[in-house]
Amino acid sequence: MFTIAHYSGVQIILNRLLRFKKLHVMSLHTPTPEEQQTEIQTVQDTTSISQAEHKRLFQRGLKWLCAGLLLMGMSFMINFLLFHSDVSFNTAMYLITSAGGVCMIKGLADMVGF
């Protein structure tokens, strides 16, 4: 017959094995309403923190995206205005375009959450 004493012995052995692997065993203890409320409050605090963090990252991503678009616009203007001139503008144009592309990718990555 399986008794509580056998179960507690098994639970002790499992706890020791799992502690060795740095895992946790959920207890069979049913939480009290105060413990449940504390757990709910902890989850809500974590959610509000993650929402605030996401909002901050989204705003930062939006700034990077705008900077990238500004650099791409500058590159277009250089190309548009200096197209018929005898001055070589390739290096400046490609550097600004590349910087704009990198800024746009960084901004999109921040907005998505990478």
The confidence score (pLDDT) of residue 7 equals 52
Extract the residue ranges of the chain whose pLDDT is less than 70: 1-29, 31, 36, 39-49
> How many folded domains does the chain comprise?
1
Residue at 85 is within a domain:
yes
Residue whose C-alpha is closest to residue 18's, from 10, 6, 28: 10
pLDDT of residue 22: 47
According to the model, what pLDDT value does residue 60 have? Answer: 94
Q: How far apart are CA 73 and CA 22, in angstroms?
A: 54
- Does residue 69 belong to any structural domain of this protein? yes
Within a domain: residue 79?
A: yes
Q: Is residue 91 part of a domain?
A: yes
pLDDT at 95: 94
What is the CB neighbour count within 10 angstroms for residue 109? 13
Within a domain: 25: no
Q: Where in the sequence is the domain holding 64, given as residue range(s)? A: 49-112
